[in-house]
Amino acid sequence: MGHIGQLVASFLRLGFDAEVNYWSRSSKPGFEQTLGIRYVDKADLIAESDLISLHLPQDAGVILHRSEFERMKPGAILINTARSQLVDAEALYWALSSGRLAYAAFDGFYGDGTRQLSSVERSILELGPDRFLTTAHIGWRTFEADLQAQLYAMRSIGEFLDGRAVSNIVG
C-alpha cells in the first residue's frame, strides 16, 4: 500500500469508522495493526467490498476486467483516482449499465483528451452523472500542492544559481 492508499485508508477508518480491507503488492503489518485494517487477496477484496478505491501506478496494467466486476457485490461503488487504463472500458460499461456497479467516479478518463474516444468509452460518458463522473485528472491539484511545487522550483533554481547540486532532479 502506497502513500496515497495509506492516507485514504486512514481517512476512511478514522473519519468514518469504516471497515477497511486492502490489497497491494505488499502488506503493511504495522500500519494494519495501528489502524485496525486488514490485508486481503484481490479476489476477496473484490467480492467483499461495498466501495473499491484504486490507487495504483499506470504500469500495473488492467486490473479490473469483466470477471472481476462479475464477482463484485451488486451495487458496489468504484472510485479510480489513478488512471482509467487500470479498468477495462467494456467491462466498466457492462458493470454500470447492468447495475452491477451502482456508481463509478474517475479522476481522468480514457485517453485524457489525447485521442478520439472509442464507442464504448463514449457510451460510459453517456450514462450520465447519475452513474458515472469523471474529472480531468486534476484531483491532486490543491492550493497546498501548487504551493509545494512552487517551493520546490524556487529551491531548485536557488541551488542551481549557487552552483550547488539540485536536490530534486527527475530523470
For 89-122, how does the pLDDT look when each residue is reduced to its tens digit (9 = 90+)? 999 999 999 999 999 999 988 887 778 999 999 9
- Domain total for the chain? 2
Is residue 150 located within the same domain as residue 79? no
Report the chain's mean pLDDT, rounded to a whole number: 91
Is residue 145 located within the same domain as residue 119? no
Identify whether 65 is part of a domain: yes
Q: Name the grid cell of 71.
A: 464477482
Residue-range definition of the domain harbouring residue 150: 141-171
**DSSP states of 9-44:** HHIIIIIH----EE--SS--HHHHHHHT-EE--HHH
Is residue 132 located within the same domain as residue 57? yes
Is residue 46 located within the same domain as residue 59? yes
Is residue 92 located within the same domain as residue 159? no
Q: Is the pLDDT of residue 169 over 80?
A: no
The label of the residue with cell 466501495 reads 51
Is residue 148 located within the same domain as residue 103? no
Q: Name the grid cell of 3.
A: 502513500
pLDDT score at 140: 67
